A and B are shown apart, each in its own frame.
Chain A
Amino acid sequence: MSARLSPETHPLTARIDLAAPLDRKGYEAAGGYRALRKAVKEMAPGDITKLVKDSNLRGRGGAGFPTGVKWGLVPMGPDAGRKYLVCNADEMEPGTFKDRLLMEGDPHQLVEGMIVAGYALQATRGYIFLRGEYVLAAERLNRAIAEAQAAGYLGKNILGSPWSYELFVHTGAGRYICGEETALLNSLEGKRANPRAKPPFPQIAGLWGRPTVVNNVETLCNVPHIVQNGAAWFHGLSQGKSKDAGTKLYGVSGRVKRPGCWELPFGATAREIVEEHAGGLQDGLKLKCWLPGGASTDFLLPEHLDLAMDFDTIAKAGSRLGTGLITVVDDRQNLLAVLRNLEEFFARESCGWCTPCRDGLPWTEKLLAALMRGEGRPGDLEALEQMTRFLGPGRTFCAHAPGAMEPLQSALKYFRAEFEAGIARPPAQAAA
């Protein structure tokens, strides 16, 4: 990520320095912590929530829920008692590598986002739930928190206000399911990361039964910029390319010339991202299909490349924007092998709490493995199709298994012939 990016067009990444991220003084010299001062000294908590609503900031973790609406559900007022803000920094969606960049490259930005959002919610404590493998991010965030504490931005009576707030980094010990927000809360409470029934939603009864907001890293990093520059400015960032406001961290992995992650106006086309920024596929390879935003999104085809990468456009095409980091599958890949890899991941990461997910995902993986070896049996395709319904939305306790069905159902739709080719022919026919 170049140091020459302008904060006007690249608010989230202009300050990124992976080799030596800015310390508090450097961050402040680059405009940091002004939003915090403005928020605490000039704005009421409800004003900030309204501003975030007006900005149309939508959750960057994959679901795209409007952040201000989520905040608006939290009880406010002097009797509201203990409340928590939790940052979901458990980045583990296969193909996604954006939050790592934000945390390693500009840790103070997330810390400021956590403080400003904490003020808007009048939270008493914030936790950054960070996956255990992000060792460097943990070290840099802890240093940034210590610096912010020393400057009086955390602790008692922040900047002379009546509001007190503590911030901690909590590192996990693995398991993809911790990214599901209620499983994350159980994990943070020191339990097995099984999801919880909703309702009640965390905004009402979350961590230790108290009102809790869970937001993604990229979402929270946007908050100081919105407070500093306003909702109209935020809408302008997407340059009319999309109804969705702001910038988005997009990226590409797979066999392209220049895999990477870039901050672009929301609604940039997939073609621009894959061909211009990632340099297109490696020589001799052609695009077969692509996942728009992680393992739990439906495959799209080359013909979809000109679509705007925003929530509604990608949903209309039959997939989900997800995290917005594209995984490219080239024409030399065995699609069934790729799909089996995806389903093995979901099977292994199922928490085991509900039966359709615990039993259905390993079954799915076994069917795909057999088809991949050319040992599929008649009826296997129908079984897989049945799986996409039985493990679909509303049939399981959380969104894990429905997410796993997205690449499967789209592969069945677009590449049915490759599945059929995996069914073993009867011996007589094979000999002929």
Chain B
Amino acid sequence: MSHDRVLKLSDLPPAQPFVLHDEDRAAIEHEIARYEDPRAASIEALKIVQKRHGWVPDGAIAVIGQVLGIPASDVEGVATFYNLIFRRPVGRHVIKVCDSVSCFLTGFEEVFAALQRRLGVGPGQTTADGRFTLLPICCLGACDKGPVLMIDDDTHGNLRAADVEKLLERYP
């Protein structure tokens, strides 16, 4: 795998101070109303920020803590626990490839190898053009269609290594 195709953190512009978008603040406050305790909106708050920025920038952690009235360390504890919260930048499209048993039995390894060859990145890495991040993920609950992966919110099943090229073209 040639390392010049992998995005490095040092390639990124320096961090900007984080400003919570007004719409996002309103969305978080709307979420708070659905629970007995504002803390319960922490995961949703992280997802709201991530939806706008693609990931959860460092500065967002403390700001979310202020909105929810909980310590930043608690927000970070939650952010680092859940695998669908990204604490470093990801590509425009996130590929989540199921590597659990049913997909393993039906051809996960070939599809995952084809993806790594085509993208020139390994699991957890982002392509240098910032287009794709490749992640393994646990069972996606579509085991009758294995092997299965998700790209962003779309689920694709019954994949073969030969399908990878065409599938990726749909995500510019």
Stretch in contact with the other chain, from B4-12, B18-26, B97-105:
B97-105
Q: State the main secondary structure of chain A at its contact with B.
A: mixed
Please measure, in the bound complex, the distance between the C-alpha atom of A206 and the C-alpha atom of B61, giving whole angstroms: 28
What are 28 A-B interface contacts by the 8 Å CB criterion? A91-B141, A92-B139, A94-B101, A94-B143, A97-B144, A132-B84, A133-B150, A133-B155, A134-B141, A171-B47, A173-B85, A174-B82, A188-B40, A189-B39, A190-B37, A190-B39, A190-B40, A190-B41, A190-B42, A192-B77, A193-B81, A254-B106, A255-B106, A337-B104, A338-B101, A341-B104, A345-B100, A345-B139
B-chain residues with CB within 8 Å of residue A327 when the two chains form the complex:
101-102, 105, 143
Q: Is B129 an interface residue when CB atoms closer than 8 A count as contact? A: no
Q: A92-B139, A168-B34, A261-B144 are in contact. Are A341 and B101 (CB under 8 A)?
A: yes
Q: Is A107 an interface residue when CB atoms closer than 8 A count as contact? A: no
Greatest chain A CB density within 10 A among B42, B101, B153, B155 is at B101
A-chain residues with CB within 8 Å of residue B77 when the two chains form the complex:
191-192
Across the A-B interface, give the 4 residue pairs with the lowest CB-CB distance, nearest first. A253-B143, A173-B82, A94-B100, A259-B144
In contact, A173 and B37 (Cβ under 8 angstroms): no
B-chain residues with CB within 8 Å of residue A64 when the two chains form the complex:
none
Greatest chain B CB density within 10 A among A191, A325, A338, A351 is at A191
Please measure, in the bound complex, the distance between the C-alpha atom of A244 and the C-alpha atom of B134, giving whole angstroms: 44
What residue of chain B has the Cβ atom nearest to residue A282's Cβ?
B106
In contact, A135 and B101 (Cβ under 8 angstroms): no
What residue of chain B has the Cβ atom nearest to residue A259's Cβ?
B144
Considering only residues 337-366 of chain A, those with a C-beta below 8 Å from chain B are 337-338, 341-342, 344-345, 348-349, 351
In contact, B102 and A175 (Cβ under 8 angstroms): no
Q: Is B161 an interface residue when CB atoms closer than 8 A count as contact? A: no
In contact, A97 and B143 (Cβ under 8 angstroms): yes
B-chain residues with CB within 8 Å of residue A172 when the two chains form the complex:
43, 82, 84
A-chain residues with CB within 8 Å of residue B143 when the two chains form the complex:
94-97, 251, 253, 259, 325, 327
Considering only residues 402-426 of chain A, those with a C-beta below 8 Å from chain B are none
Q: Is B36 an interface residue when CB atoms closer than 8 A count as contact? A: yes
How many chain A residues touch B (CB < 8 A): the figure is 57
Considering only residues 224-255 of chain A, those with a C-beta below 8 Å from chain B are 251-255
What residue of chain B has the Cβ atom nearest to residue A340's Cβ?
B104
Greatest chain A CB density within 10 A among B44, B84, B102 is at B102
Q: A173-B43, A329-B105, A341-B104 are in contact. Are A94 and B138 (CB under 8 A)?
A: yes
In contact, B105 and A174 (Cβ under 8 angstroms): no
In contact, B140 and A133 (Cβ under 8 angstroms): yes
In contact, B139 and A254 (Cβ under 8 angstroms): no
Please measure, in the bound complex, the distance between the C-alpha atom of A188 and the C-alpha atom of B40, giving whole angstroms: 6
Q: Is B83 an interface residue when CB atoms closer than 8 A count as contact? A: yes
Q: How far is the CB of A347 from chain B (nearest CB, A)?
A: 11
Q: Is A100 an interface residue when CB atoms closer than 8 A count as contact? A: yes
User: Apart from A168-B34, A174-B85, what are 18 other A-B pairs with CB-CB below 8 Å?
Assistant: A95-B143, A96-B143, A133-B140, A172-B82, A173-B82, A173-B84, A187-B43, A190-B35, A190-B68, A190-B78, A253-B105, A253-B144, A255-B105, A259-B143, A295-B101, A325-B143, A329-B105, A345-B139
Q: Is B95 an interface residue when CB atoms closer than 8 A count as contact? A: no
A-chain residues with CB within 8 Å of residue B47 when the two chains form the complex:
132, 171, 173
Q: Is A333 an interface residue when CB atoms closer than 8 A count as contact? A: yes
What residue of chain B has the Cβ atom nearest to residue A194's Cβ?
B81
Binary contact track A10-22/B, C-beta < 8 Å → 1, others 0: 0000000000000
In contact, A341 and B39 (Cβ under 8 angstroms): no
Please measure, in the bound complex, the distance between the C-alpha atom of A223 and the C-alpha atom of B140, giving whole angstroms: 26
Q: A132-B84, A291-B101 are in contact. Are A348 and B138 (CB under 8 A)?
A: yes
Q: How far is the CB of A252 from chain B (nearest CB, A)?
A: 8
Please measure, in the bound complex, the distance between the C-alpha atom of A97 and the C-alpha atom of B144, giving whole angstroms: 8
Please measure, in the bound complex, the distance between the C-alpha atom of A325 and the C-alpha atom of B144, giving whole angstroms: 10
B-chain residues with CB within 8 Å of residue A176 when the two chains form the complex:
138-139
Please measure, in the bound complex, the distance between the C-alpha atom of A342 and the C-alpha atom of B100, giving whole angstroms: 7
In contact, B150 and A345 (Cβ under 8 angstroms): no
Q: Is B142 an interface residue when CB atoms closer than 8 A count as contact? A: yes
B-chain residues with CB within 8 Å of residue A94 when the two chains form the complex:
100-102, 138-139, 143
Greatest chain A CB density within 10 A among B44, B81, B106 is at B81
Q: How far is the CB of B147 from chain A (nearest CB, A)?
A: 11
Q: Is A260 an interface residue when CB atoms closer than 8 A count as contact? A: yes
Q: Is B54 an interface residue when CB atoms closer than 8 A count as contact? A: no
In contact, A174 and B84 (Cβ under 8 angstroms): yes
Considering only residues 197-239 of chain A, those with a C-beta below 8 Å from chain B are 207-208
